[in-house]
């Protein structure tokens, strides 16, 4: 889903990396502390456009929002300890 055209059309750059598997990232997304605000804003943007994403990906809007809420929780925890986020 995160690498879908619908997500990319909204301008997302972080989450599509989960679909862009390379030798370096092995399909994982690593967001360092200095990029957490931008990553969080991407999650907000996607949540604000959840109906469009649901239509474009076939995923249920509530499921998408649940995933995004989990990611935003991880961002908040990472900020609290001045760390980053890794999603695999």
Q: What whole-number distance in Å separates Cα of residue 85 and Cα of residue 77?
A: 9
Where would I find the beta strands (DSSP E) of 1-88?
29-31, 85-87
Q: What whole-number distance in Å separates Cα of residue 49 and Cα of residue 7?
A: 9
**pTM of the predicted structure, to 2 decimals:** 0.91
Q: What whole-number distance in Å separates Cα of residue 88 and Cα of residue 20?
A: 12
Q: What whole-number distance in Å separates Cα of residue 12 and Cα of residue 68?
A: 13
pLDDT for the residue 25: 79
Q: Decide which of 85 and 23 is more confident.
A: 85
DSSP state letters, 52-71:
HHHHHH---HHHHHHHHHHH
pLDDT for the residue 27: 82
What are the domain boundaries of the chain?
5-87
pLDDT digits over 5-57, tens only? 999 999 999 999 999 888 887 888 999 999 999 999 999 999 999 999 999 99
pLDDT for the residue 23: 82
């Amino acid at each position: 889903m995160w690498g879908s055209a619908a997500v990319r059309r909204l301008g997302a750059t972080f989450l599509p990396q989960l679909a862009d598997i390379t030798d370096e990232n092995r399909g994982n997304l690593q967001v360092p502390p200095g990029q957490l605000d931008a990553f969080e804003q991407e999650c907000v943007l996607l949540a604000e456009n959840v109906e469009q994403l649901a239509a474009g990906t076939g995923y249920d809007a509530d499921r998408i929002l649940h995933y995004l809420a989990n990611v935003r929780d991880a961002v908040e925890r990472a900020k609290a300890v001045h760390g980053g986020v890794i999603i695999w």
